[in-house]
Amino acid sequence: MTEGQRSHLAPAQALPLWRRAVLKVGSNLLAADGGGLTPRYATALAHFMQASHEAGRQVVLVSSGAVAAGRAQLRAHAPGGGDLAARQALAALGQAPMIALWQSLVPRPVAQVLLTHDDLRNRRRYLNARATLRELLLLGVLPVVNENDTVAVDELKLGDNDNLAAIVAALVDADVLLIASDIDALYTADPRRDPNAVPIGRVESLTAEVLAMAGGSGSAVGTGGMRTKLEAASKAAAAGIPTALFSGRNDVAVSALVQGELHGTFFAVARTRMQARKYWLRHAPAAPGHIEVDAGAVRALASGKASLLPGGVLTVSGEFHRGDLVEIIEGSGRPVARGISQYGAGEVKRLAGRHSRDIDAVLGYSYGAEIVHRDDLATMADIEAIGDIDA
Ligand SMILES: Nc1ncnc2c1ncn2[C@@H]1O[C@H](COP(=O)(O)OP(=O)(O)O)[C@@H](O)[C@H]1O
Ligand SMILES: N[C@@H](CCC(=O)OP(=O)(O)O)C(=O)O
C-alpha cells in the first residue's frame, strides 16, 4: 500500500447515536511497519475513547498487537513463520507491553480481559464474561480485550480479533462495532491489486457479492484482512449491531468520530438488537425443564419490562444449567416466556419464593438478583410479534 492510499479519507456520514461501542484496533495500527509497539496511531484512538468516556459513553477496546510486541522484544531471536506454539509464546511475551501502551495513553484504569472463542460458546462462561465486562464499564475502567492466545487452538482461528470483537459487541450489547483499520473503507476490490477499486460508503446487507470484494491482509503484521472484517460485520449484524469501518491511521477520521461522523464504510442492520435477541430467544432450543411462576410474575413478565425474580418462582422441573434457555410457564402449564436462566435448576429450586437479597445467604454466592434478566427474556407477545419479522 502506498502513502497516497493510506491518507485517503472517505466522505463523511453521520454515525447513528450510540451509548456503548466496541472498538477493534488491529496490529497494523499498533506495530506499524512490522516493528515494536508505537503510540503513533494509538494516541488519537485513546483520545477518542477518553472523549467518549467523558461524554458518558462506554467503550470496550479489543486490541491486537501482542504477537507483534513479543516479536519486537526478541528481535533477531524471535521465531519466524506461522508456527502456532511460537505465536502463542510471542503473544504471552507481548501482552503485558500492549496493555502498558494503552495504560500510558488513557488517564483511567485499564483492565486486561483475555477470552477465547471457546469461552464464548460456553453459555456459562459467556454469562460470566458478560458480567465482568459490565462491571468494569460500571467502574469506569477501560476493558482491553484480546484473544487468550496461550490456550486458543488453531481450529478456533487463533488470531482473529475482528470476529472476536463482533462477539464481544453482542456480549456487551453494544450499539455499534467500530473497526479501526489501516485502510479508510471497504473497496469494491482489494485496492492493492486493483487500481480501479472504489470505496463504498454504506453496505445494506452482506451479500455474497459484497463478501467477494474482500481479500486477505496486505501486511506482514495484520492477520485477517478485509475478509475477517466482513465476517465480523456480518456477525454483528446478525445480533442487530451495525459496524463502522474507518482508518485508524487518519487523524481526521478518528477525531470526526468524536463528533459522531464517520469517514469510512457503514454496515447497516436489518433488525434492531432487541429484535435480533428476541429472534434468537424464540428459535434457540430450550433446555429440558420449566420454571413455573405465580400470577404476580406472569403479570410482571407480560409488561415486557420486568425480570424474573426468585420471589415469583413456584416450582422448577427438569434439569438445566446456568446459561441455558428455559421455558417459563404458569400453573396451568401455559408458556409465559422464554429466557436465559442465570441459575441452574437446583439453585432455582432453593431460591423459589425467596427475596433477591437472600440469594447470597441461601446459596453462599450470587450471580445477580434476577433468575432471568429482562434483557434475556422474550414474552409470548414478543414471540408472536417476531412471527411478523420472520416473513
Ligand atoms: N475490498 C477491500 N477493501 C479494502 N481493503 C482490502 C480489501 N481486500 C483486502 N483488503 C486489505 O485488507 C487490509 C486490512 O486488513 P489487515 O491488514 O488485517 O488489518 P488489521 O491489522 O487492521 O486487522 C487492507 O489494508 C487491504 O490491503
Ligand atoms: N491476538 C493477536 C492478534 C490477532 C489479530 O486478529 O490481529 P489483527 O489482524 O492485527 O487484528 C495479538 O494480540 O497479536
Angle at 388 between CA 385 and CA 391, to 5 degrees: 155
Q: Give the distance (Å) from ligand 1 centre to CA of residue 218.
A: 6
Q: Are residues 253 and 314 in the same domain?
A: no
With a 6 A CB cut-off, is 192 part of the ligand 1 pocket?
yes
Both 198 and 324 in one domain: the answer is: no
Total domains in the chain come to 2
How many C-beta atoms lie closer than 10 Å to residue 261's C-beta?
17
Question: Domain span at residue 304?
Answer: 276-390
Q: Does a structural domain hold residue 1?
A: no
Residue 2 lies in a domain: no
Phi and psi angles of residue 3, each rounded to the nearest 5 degrees, phi first: -60, -35
Task: Kindly state whether residues 249 and 338 are assigned to the same domain.
Answer: no
Give the pLDDT score at 6: 44
The reply to whether 256 and 285 lie within a common domain is no
Contact 247, 210 (CB under 8 A): no
Residue 311 half-sphere exposure toward CB, CA atoms < 13 A: 10
Ligand 1 centroid to 182 CA: how many Å? Answer: 7
Tell me the pLDDT tens digit for each residue of 276-294.
888 888 888 899 999 999 9
The reported pLDDT for the residue numbered 237 is: 96
Residue with cell 434478566: 373
Shared domain for 313 and 217, answered yes or no, is no
Does one domain contain both 30 and 146? yes
Distance 194 CA to ligand 2 centre (A): 26
Write out the three cell numbers for 235: 456477525
The pLDDT, as a whole number, for residue 353 is 97
Last residue of a domain, one of 217, 241, 270: 270
Q: Tens digits of per-residue pLDDT, 76-121?
A: 777 877 788 888 899 999 999 999 999 999 999 999 999 988 788 7
Q: Are residues 96 and 183 in the same domain?
A: yes
Any idea which ligand is nearest the CA of 186?
A: 1
pLDDT of residue 64: 95
261 within some domain = yes
The domain spanning residue 289 has which CATH number?
A: 2.30.130.10
Whole-number pLDDT of residue 283: 81
| 248 lies in the same domain as 300 | no
226 and 349 both lie in a single domain: no
What cell numbers appear for 145 in the block? 480485550
Q: What is the DSSP letter of 269?
A: -
User: What does the pLDDT read at residue 387?
Assistant: 60
* Residue 244 bridge partners (DSSP): 178, 266
Assembly ipTM: 0.94
Q: Looking at this protein, which amino acid is placed at residue 5?
A: Q
pLDDT of 216:
58
User: Is the four-CA dihedral 263, 269, 272, 274 of positive or negative sign?
Assistant: negative
| Phi, psi (rounded to 5 degrees) for 341 | -80, 130
Which pLDDT belongs to residue 385?
A: 76
**Residues 223 and 104 placed together within one structural domain of the fold:** yes
Q: 270, 295, 315: which is the final residue of a domain?
A: 270
> Is the residue at 245 inside a domain?
yes
**What residues contact 112, with CB distance under 8 A and at least 6 apart?**
95, 99, 144, 146
CATH number at residue 61: 3.40.1160.10
Nearest residue to 379 via CA among 307, 322, 321, 311 = 307
- Are 298 and 260 members of one domain? no
Quick check: CB of 66 below 6 Å from ligand 2? yes
* Phi, psi angles (nearest 5°) of residue 255: -75, -25
Tell me if 182 CB under 6 Å of ligand 2. no
Q: How many CB atoms lie within 10 A of CB 341?
A: 29
Q: Which DSSP symbol is given to 213?
A: T
Output the tens digit of pLDDT for each of the chain's 391 residues. Answer: 444 344 688 899 999 999 999 999 999 999 977 789 999 999 999 999 999 999 999 999 999 999 999 999 888 777 877 788 888 899 999 999 999 999 999 999 999 999 988 788 777 888 899 999 999 999 999 999 999 988 876 654 555 899 999 999 999 999 999 999 999 999 999 988 899 999 999 999 999 999 989 865 555 544 558 999 999 999 999 999 999 999 999 999 999 999 999 999 999 999 888 888 888 888 888 999 999 999 999 999 999 889 999 999 999 999 999 999 999 999 999 999 999 999 999 999 999 999 999 999 999 999 999 999 998 999 988 877 766 544 3
Q: Which atom of ligand 2 is nearest to the CA of 224?
A: 9
Could you tell me if 239 and 276 are in contact, meaning their C-beta atoms sit under 8 angstroms apart? yes
Q: Are 45 and 142 in the same domain?
A: yes
Which residues line the annotated binding site?
24, 64, 149, 161, 181-182, 223-229
Where do runs of H (alpha helix) occur along the chain? 3-6, 27-30, 39-54, 66-74, 84-105, 117-121, 123-138, 161-171, 208-211, 225-238, 251-258, 273-283, 295-302, 345-351, 359-363, 380-390
Residue that is last in its domain, among 270, 290, 315: 270
Single-letter amino acid, residue 24: K
| Angle between helical axes of 84-105 and 66-74 (0-180°, round to 10) | 100
